[in-house]
Amino acid sequence: MIRINNVKIYEDIANEELFNIIVNKYKIPKESVTEWHISKKSIDARKKDDIHYSYSIDINLKNEEKYLKYKNVSKLDKFIENKIEYNLNKSTIPVIIGAGPSGLFSALTFIKYGYKPLIIEQGQSVEERKLSVDNFIASGKLNINSNVQFGEGGAGTFSDGKLTSNINSPHCRTVLDNFLKFGAPEQILYTTKPHIGTDNLIKIIKNMREYIISKGGKFLFNTKFIDFETNNKTLSSIKTLNLNTNCTDIINTNILILAIGHSSRDTFYKLYEKGLILEPKNFSVGVRIEHLQSDINKAQYGNKTKLKLPPADYKLAYHSETGRSCYTFCMCPGGIVMPSSSEENTIVTNGMSYFSRSGINANSAVLVNVTPNDFKNNSPLAGIDFQKDLEKKAFILGGSNYFAPIQRFEDFYNNIKSSYIGNIKPSYKPGITLSNLNEILPDFVSKTLKEGIKYFDTKLNGFANPDSILTGVETRSSSPVRILRGENSLSNINGIYPCGEGAGYAGRNYVRIR
């Protein structure tokens, strides 16, 4: 195939019209084209008076060599997925702890190579889990075992469903192809910043589960991994607790995928107790900030373009003279701020968008980096204590009823409690309490947030709007713990493979079973 890059389009057109433009421009006979597809579509909004779509198109055609002389045309090698080396006996039943992204894709990989994995998840199936989340939003009644953090699909299910990565790996394409297979819209394959949305994710995850079961896999929901045993430093069995019946069970296995997520604190404590090597790691804490989506659109796109552009997003970073960094994370265009607690008497926030991103507000985390030097002790689990302390303080500041503490940015900057809400209305439910977030945030976090938000206003006009709403607190941007891995992604106990966000390696590697 050949790839034609940097195709500028200044109007909203159907794919067939795009094809006609390409073949006419490069004088390609239509009958010579055997296959074509969009490989990339992005918005170039660097110049407000020259906003356009930039396309890359892949075409399979006869006599393709003659078109390589044109600018922006290149030869494209066929995508070949990397194969995973393995030598496990096909009678082996691998056990996966956690049905989040890394757990589900581990299960799909095992299925692909002929194994029948057992997936253990302390939360509910995604359909039941949504009911628990909806109930918490409506009533403030928290299910500590199944919520925004725990349950089938993982924490990202009630987020924006972003499909971006900072790594360049052929497995990224495999992930996208799988999402497409199970019901995601085709545009995730070529949009620059693809997302699925919570509404689509719920259906897709259900389809994944049904496929895994149809191939011999098995799910145990409402079942918690609570212990394991070894023989000569090799895994021999695990112990689980059925949260409905309160009965325990022993499962014999020598292959365990730990896909536990960043909020599985009980499991981190147990792993440390049983001798897995853990270490504290950097993470970030801060708040959610809300603006009117229309203001973000205007700041990013201006008001001249006639294109029907999607709700605008942003990604911003600031580095202070003290060495601290402030950055935006998990920006949700047209989204809402979600109640994301997983433990009683705590407040945790996150952001969520549906696929349409049609909400009035835009929201994003604004975070400040935290290092082990900020913790009270040298324990590998000290970062968890740092998170918990903030979450409990936020709960009390909000009124001890799962209402979140909020503050206008102007008031936060001036260190005074907010007394009113301006033209930007907070989206957090079950409810909010006007507060002064400076009272609970560490001084270095408050100071860096103020500097960062003011700096972001110079890059994105209106970011420091006095009425911008800050909602506290966001503490679960990444795992506070890393489970060390050695050769072949093994922990220091043979047979235990930590992976994904909970292991502290999200985006770094994949699990390889030999």
Which residues are registered as beta bridge partners of 280?
481
Confidence tier at 91 by pLDDT (50, 70, 90) = confident
Encode 288-321: b = buried (16+ Cβ within 10 Å), e = exposed.
bbbbbbebbbebbbeeebeeeebbbbbebebeee
What's the whole-number mean pLDDT along residues 440-455? 98
pLDDT digits 0-9 by tens, 3-35: 999 999 999 999 999 999 999 999 999 999 999
- Residues in CB range of 34: below 8 A, 6 or more apart: 60, 61, 62
In this structure, of 154-168, 234-248, 310-324, the range with the lowest mean pLDDT score is: 154-168
Confidence of residue 510 (pLDDT cuts 50, 70, 90): very low
Which two three-digit tokens encode residue 403? Answer: 């209402």
**Phi-psi domain of 65 (left: phi exceeds 0; alpha: psi -120 through 50; beta: other):** alpha
| 484-501 mean pLDDT | 93
In the structure, what pLDDT confidence band is assigned to residue 87 with cuts at 50, 70 and 90?
Answer: confident
Residue 465 in tokens: 């709007």
pLDDT of residue 508: 45
- pLDDT of 350 reads 96
Q: Say whether pLDDT at 110 is over 50.
A: yes
Contact present, 201 and 161 (Cβ < 8 Å): yes
The terminus-to-terminus CA distance of the chain in angstroms comes to: 35
pLDDT for the residue numbered 168: 75
302 Rama sector, left if φ>0, alpha if ψ -120 to 50, beta otherwise? left
The mean pLDDT of 410-418, rounded to a whole number, is 98
The sign of the dihedral angle between the CA atoms of 129, 133, 134, 136 is positive
What does the alpha-carbon distance between residue 471 and residue 493 come to, in Å, rounded to a whole number?
A: 41
Reported confidence tier of residue 511, pLDDT bands at 50, 70, 90? very low
pLDDT, tens digit, for every residue of 157-171?
A: 998 888 887 777 778
Per-residue pLDDT band at 239 (split at 50, 70, 90): very high
Chain centroid offset of residue 313 CA: 15
Percent of the chain's residues with pLDDT above 70: 98
Specify whether the CB–CB gap between 139 and 314 falls below 8 A. no
Q: With helix as H, strand as E and coil as C, how does 232-286 read?
A: CCEEEEEEEEECCCCCEEEEECCCEEECCCCCCHHHHHHHHHCCCCEEECCEEEE
Instruction: Give backbone dihedrals phi and psi of 487, rounded to 5 degrees, phi first.
Output: -60, 140
- Please report the domains of the chain, with CATH numbers, ordered by start residue: 2-75 (3.30.70.2700), 95-279+480-503 (3.50.50.60), 282-474 (no CATH)
pLDDT at 62: 86
pLDDT tens digits for range 186-199: 999 999 889 999 99
- Statement: residue 509 has pLDDT above 60: no
Cα 11 from Cα 106, distance rounded (Å): 42
Q: Evaluate the CA torsion angle 431, 354, 335, 395 in order and state its sign.
A: positive
pTM for the full model? 0.93
- pLDDT greater than 90 at residue 124: yes
Q: Tell me the pLDDT of the chain averaged across its residues.
A: 94
Rg for the chain, CA atoms, rounded: 24
pLDDT number for residue 32: 92
Predicted local distance difference test score (pLDDT) of residue 423? 97
Q: Residues 6 or more apart from 457 whose CB is under 8 A from it?
A: 463, 464
In this structure, what is the dihedral angle of CA atoms 153, 235, 116, 172, given to the nearest 10 degrees?
Answer: 50
Q: Is the pLDDT of residue 464 over 70?
A: yes
Residue 280, pLDDT above cutoff 60: yes
Residue 209 has pLDDT above 90, yes or no: yes
Q: Is the peptide bond before 430 cis (omega within 30 degrees of 0)?
A: yes
Judge contact between 489 and 497, C-beta under 8 A. Answer: yes
